[in-house]
Amino acid sequence: MKYFVINTPPNQDGIIRLYEKDFHYLARVRRLKSGDCFDAILPNKTKARIRILSTVNKILIGECLEALEHTKVPVQPLTPIALFQGLPKGNKMDLIVRQAAEGGVSLVIPFYCEHTSSLSSAEKTKRWEKIIKEARQQSGSAMDTQIRSPCSINELLEYWETIKKQYKRPSGIILHQEPLAKGSFHDYLSNEPDFAVLAVGPEGGFSPGELSLFLSAGFKPLLMGSTVLRTETAALYGCAAIRILLLERESWTSSLKE
């Protein structure tokens, strides 16, 4: 089911007011009017059915219907997946962020590599946040996908160290264009990780020094088949493979035991 993501909580009477882009999307794009209802995710991660009371003066006023107000959005028990993405050229990051949000990735962290061709800005991070909101509304994803501002590899690996301390069985996988190991997604995810991280390089991949840093930090190298994928394809392909394997873990681990 699709949900509209609301960033401003309702008041004590359960009334919400939506302006500008939110108003335009609901009243102009979806053509909702007074008396119509839509389902939404509130800032406290609950879902509510909103009944529109008014759409005058470019302000949408609605009320939260009590029947759904306290129904929790089923985000768990999905294993969190984080995408560490080397900043690609142009607007490719927009596509990567959109696909990650639609696929239920919990966290996206762009980072600078030796092969990163341009710097980012605060405006881009804001645009990515908007893309995530639109992608969640389009796909109905209940995962509250977060994105951080771009950082250096050292800052990225410092965060990875906090993940290793916070979780009991984190798994870090780095995609590489060379067959550095015979491992597979099945091998690396067979220990039932409680947090999975996928690291993908930009165009040109990782330099030998960058690869060494990731491997020293505990990441496992993986070559996906014999095809060299574009960075935006590799991110989608890899995250989807991890999510599917984790969702279907019970069935494939049972078959391995037989």
Q: How far apart are CA 142 and CA 127, in angstroms?
A: 20
Q: How far apart are CA 163 and CA 170, in angstroms?
A: 7
pLDDT of residue 179: 63
The candidate with the shortest Cα–Cα distance to 184, out of 144, 224, 149, 233, is 224
Domains, the chain, with CATH or none: 4-72 (2.40.240.20), 81-254 (3.40.1280.10)
What does pTM read for this prediction?
A: 0.77
For the chain, which residues score pLDDT lower than 50? 67-71, 73-76, 254, 256
Within 13 Å and on the Cβ side, how many CA atoms surround 217?
27
pLDDT of residue 136: 86
Q: How far apart are CA 44 and CA 247, in angstroms?
A: 26
pLDDT of residue 36: 95
pLDDT of residue 250: 57
Place of tokens 């991949």: 205
In tens, the pLDDT along 151-175 reads 999 999 999 999 999 999 999 999 9
- Residues of the chain with pLDDT > 70, as a percent, come to 89
pLDDT of residue 180: 62
178's CB contacts (< 8 A; 6+ apart) are 223
Residue 196: CB atoms within 10 A of its CB come to 26
pLDDT of residue 74: 47
Q: How far is CA 75 from CA 41, 71, 106, 111, in A?
A: 12, 12, 10, 26
Q: How far apart are CA 136 and CA 222, in angstroms?
A: 29
CA dihedral sign, ordered 163, 72, 39, 8: negative
Helices (H), the chain: 20-23, 66-69, 92-102, 122-139, 153-166, 185-189, 208-216, 231-247, 249-257
Q: What are phi and psi of 53, to 5 degrees?
A: -100, -30
pLDDT of residue 176: 83
